[in-house]
Structure 1
Amino acid sequence: FHDFLSVLLCGHKIQAKLSSNDKKLLPFLASYLCAVAPEFKPFITFTEDTLKNFDAVIATGSNNTATYFDHYFSKYPHIIRKNRNAVAIITGKETPKQMQSLADDVYRYFGLGCRNVSKIYIPQQYNLDHFFNGMYAWKQVINNHKYINNYDYNKAVYLMSDIKLFDNEFMLLKEDTGYSSPISVVFYERYKDINDVKAQLEDQKQNIQCIVSLEDVPFGVAQTPALSDYADGVDTIDFLIKL
């Protein structure tokens, strides 16, 4: 939606080919916009066909598809976005309310968004009860049949592989150095020095969409970015006005 809005605000036309999982909301919003402001109708086109007659490209995909996009659209001005995830740094000084807000960052959209927290960093002696108590606000997520299927599957795979887990009966917490956790799973790493975590995340910033902490993005607002919170840190408006 941010790209859609940015293109229109910059006076350009949109030719959009949507992903198979994202074919409802944006066309609905576009139809509403055209109903209240008909002058936008000639500027918006959705298509299922091969994109043609365009001057610049904004595309989002997996790391594999991004490599293809980079090659295919190499002769056009472009922004190509890859997989990214959000992480949270927990210090132990967070309030119960902040932990409940963190649950929103984890569970909104079932954790499928690039701004969903998929990994947490916790102190060596951190009591995980504080974390799980906050997550309990979203316990009803287990009633979604697709979610529970993922939960059951991931739990079975990990247990069969003799991988140690923390389990609160609707979330699995797994120690892992990766960032992109499966649905129903949150990765975690323990730390001794928070500065080491900051250095690691700076080194891996190409994989991180945002950091939720007491010092960075506040708890509970990872999925409510401002218009100035550009995806991947790339200024879309600046890109568009220079075309």
Structure 2
Amino acid sequence: MVELDPTDLTKEQLKEIIEDFANAAERAKRCGFDSLVVHRAHGQLPGCFLSKVINRRTDEYSADTIENASRFTKELLAAIRKKIGNTMAIEYRINASDMVEGSPSLDDEIAFAREIEDKIDLLHVSRGLHAMQNLAPYMNQPLHYPHGINLEDAAKMKEKLQIRIPVIPLFNHDEENIRKTAEFCKELGDAVTMIQLLPYHNLGVMKYLRISDKPVAEATPPSEEYMQKLKGIMEEYGLNVSIH
């Protein structure tokens, strides 16, 4: 069900894994990155400690209490922060639900998020497990699925939300799409404090071409005038919108 079951890992192995994460973060810092992601969703190891279906430990890393279930993550984040200081933002990806019977409830996940909220800069809410192919659309959302399928759970994770929306030509940059997105954000009510529109750019195209022989879809970054137009559309719904 998961890539690495925490049940049989020794405490020494847990320390080694934490050290590996921290060293990777330090390398990212040396490379000049501004932020990093700690992936706890989709069956990744940090997320397994909260699940009683997966984690059958009986020690201080058990799933019996939120304190125990969050211990590995707290130690992991502390080790990372020690390596990178305040020079990088930490995004933490979490599941609102594993979507399998017996998995942690949304209330459990919210309690977990509150345990670590002072140690991260951004909470990324997803759902599902990689091992369950039928759940793939919730992790990699196809075009025919409703937009923002994880936003309602994200709103419950945090009282206040800032939603970042990449505006990508050939994907979601048309006015109808933006209106539907605005309607959905409006339905979330006071939980949404800011909408940030992120115009597509092609700065990574040359790097992509160096590592892949697959063609790149031809897409032109939206103009400032067009971005202002989309901003105006969203503001019609009473939303606080900025362009980044």
User: Which of the pair is proportionally richer in strand?
Assistant: 1
TM-score, structure 1 normalization: 0.29
TM-score, structure 2 normalization: 0.29
Question: Relative contact order (C-alpha < 8 Å, sep 6+): which is higher?
Answer: 1
